[in-house]
Amino acid sequence: MRHVRRRIVRRVTRLAAVGGLLLGGTMVTQAAMATETPAGSATPRSAPETVVTNPGAALVKKLGTARTAGTWLDEDGQPVVAVTDEESAAAVRKAGAEAKLVSHSMNELKSATATLRSAPKVPGTAWVTDYRTNEVVVQADSTVSASDWAELTNTAADIGSYVRMERTSGTFTTRLNGAQPILSTGGRCSAGFNVTNGTNDFILTAGHCGPTGSTWFADNTAKQQVGQTVNQSFPVNDFSLVQYASGKAGDGADVVAIGDGNGVRITGTGDAAVGQRVFRSGSTTGLRDGQVTGLDATVNYPEGTVSGLIETNVCAEPGDSGGPMFSEGIALGITSGGSGDCTTGGTTFFQPVTRALAQLGVTLIVAAPSDNAGQGAATPSDAPQPSGSPTQAAIAPGSASPGSTTPVGGLGDGATLASRLTDPRNIGPGLLVIGGSLVALVATRYIRAEQDRKAYREYYSATWS
């Protein structure tokens, strides 16, 4: 009777093991099919939204540069337009904006910057039009000699009293070495925004990060290739395109990382406005915020001159280059360079996104509405609130609101063991079932062999006696 029970147990175990092998094989096959991208399929996308960040820009365009001198947002976020005469001021007030009478028109301010550009280039200098003070501000860092500073001061004096001279601490440098780090033999930079030409996808990042042909990796062992730089503009501009090695950006292409496994969903593009609160993300210093202080800035880096930049008081450090600047989910710029650091503060310049997209002939990648819903993104009736993560709270007093936040895909943060084991796209559970079934088969075979050897010894001993 005991032998019968043993045979039944062995048979049941063998049947269970064989069933486990079949089940495990099915699970692995399904996981492989779930993670494979169907041939010819594409992630549904929609056209990026173009956002007007300052309504005063339309008034400036309507009145013309001879009657205006820029526009900015006041502390309450309301548009202010600088005008040169009362008639223009009345038109601005009628349109619902605040008017400020100034002495110099935009034409005069642009003439001043043109004169500065034509002067001999001095590395370590920069200038920007300050709309709020109606001046052109010329800055020189600690590397500029006394003689060069004197020559530049004489040039400014010849232009007029509306050119203001300032010495700054630190040095104006490109921020080579944010949101996600990318590495090459030339150094470390940051992925900015994902863009597409309709056929292939690219990373839009800083041009000074590396020349055309540079190969980028996601790790410092050069095993996880991201892609290769296929278009670069630096100096003059500061942007480049890194084409993905796979051709596609993949899921979460509309999200930029802000730390702690969170990201901001990017919904469109816009032009920065003076006075606008903005956020910047970088792999070195994380999420930082500040204000746009000037537009159309020119910086004379040691490597060359770059013009048309956005000036901000957001800090940055080496390693933040190419990282995204945004406001309320709107892409505004990519980190170029600046002076100072995130301990003492400083000035950072950004390449405008809209200009880079226009010159490169690409568009920002944003997910289609149906995809957004599938990824837990906002809908008009159920919009997620901005993240209150420690990263944001540490750098912004009060409640920081960089835009709608969402978990960053592909980072693995926050995934529990149970969720990973039950994920149908994970081949691990299937392999575990197969391994367990093989162990059971080997065990039943071993047990049977041991029992046969024991029975043989008993029989041999009995017959020998």
Choosing from 238, 254, 260, 371, the catalytic residue is: 238
CA angle 457, 461, 465 (to 5 degrees): 170
Rounded-to-5 percentages of helix, strand, coil across the chain: 30, 35, 35
Strand order in the sheet with 187-190: 187-190, 181-184, 215-217, 225-233, 239-244, 201-205, 193-196, 363-364
Catalytic residue chosen out of the listed positions 130, 208, 289, 296: 208
Name the catalytic one among 321, 336, 387, 401.
321
- Cα–Cα dist 189/176, whole Å: 6
Q: Is 208 a catalytic residue?
A: yes
Give which of 289, 194, 198 is closest to 242, Cα–Cα.
194
All residues at 6 or more sequence positions from 348 whose CB lies less than 8 Å from its CB, including other chains: 175, 280, 290, 311, 312, 313, 314, 315, 316, 335, 336, 337, 338
Given a contact cutoff of 8 angstroms between Cβ atoms, the answer to whether 249 and 194 are in contact is yes
> Which long-range contacts (C-beta less than 8 Å, at least 24 apart) are formed by 450-453?
451/6
Is 341 assigned a catalytic role? no
**What is 64-113 written as a DSSP string?**
-TTTEEEEEE-TTS-EEEEESSHHHHHHHHHTT-EEEE-SS-HHHHHHHH
Residue listed under structure tokens 């995934």: 415
Instruction: Pick the closest to residue 197 from 357, 371, 37 (CA basis).
Output: 357
- In 3D space, the residue among 440, 420, 436, 416 whose CA is nearest the CA of residue 428 turns out to be 420
238: annotated active-site residue:
yes
Residues catalogued as catalytic: 208, 238, 321
